[in-house]
Amino acid sequence: MSEAETETVTEKKPSMEDLQNRMSEQIIENEFRLSVLELLMEIVVSRNPGVLTNEDIKASQEKALNNLQKKYPGSGIQLTGGAKVST
């Protein structure tokens, strides 16, 4: 086995702290991206009155919920009112 292969084989698993840091970074990244999208949607809707109906918003929430439920089966994710989701 070459030295490079040995390094790969003996590479240790990340610590719990490393995993928590990665998760925290991902959560912040997701919140940032979501915030940007929300702000852009506010601009689009304010410049184009009537472009979205309440039915459009509700259908989008249901589709997003269904996608999350498929991605995380058995998690118990559900809409709890408005745009809030809980497990």
Domain boundaries, the chain: 11-52, 54-87
Tokens (6 digits) for 14: 């990340």
SS3 content of the chain, % helix, strand, coil (to 5): 65, 10, 25
Region 33-45: mean pLDDT is 94
Whether the predicted pLDDT of 3 surpasses 70:
no
Provide the pLDDT for residue 86: 73
Provide the pLDDT for residue 85: 72
pLDDT band at 11 (very low <50, low <70, confident <90, very high): confident
- Per-residue pLDDT tens digits for 43-80: 999 999 989 998 998 899 999 999 999 999 998 998 88
How many Cβ atoms sit within 10 Å of the Cβ of residue 45? 13
Share of the chain above pLDDT 90, in %: 59
pLDDT band at 83 (very low <50, low <70, confident <90, very high): low
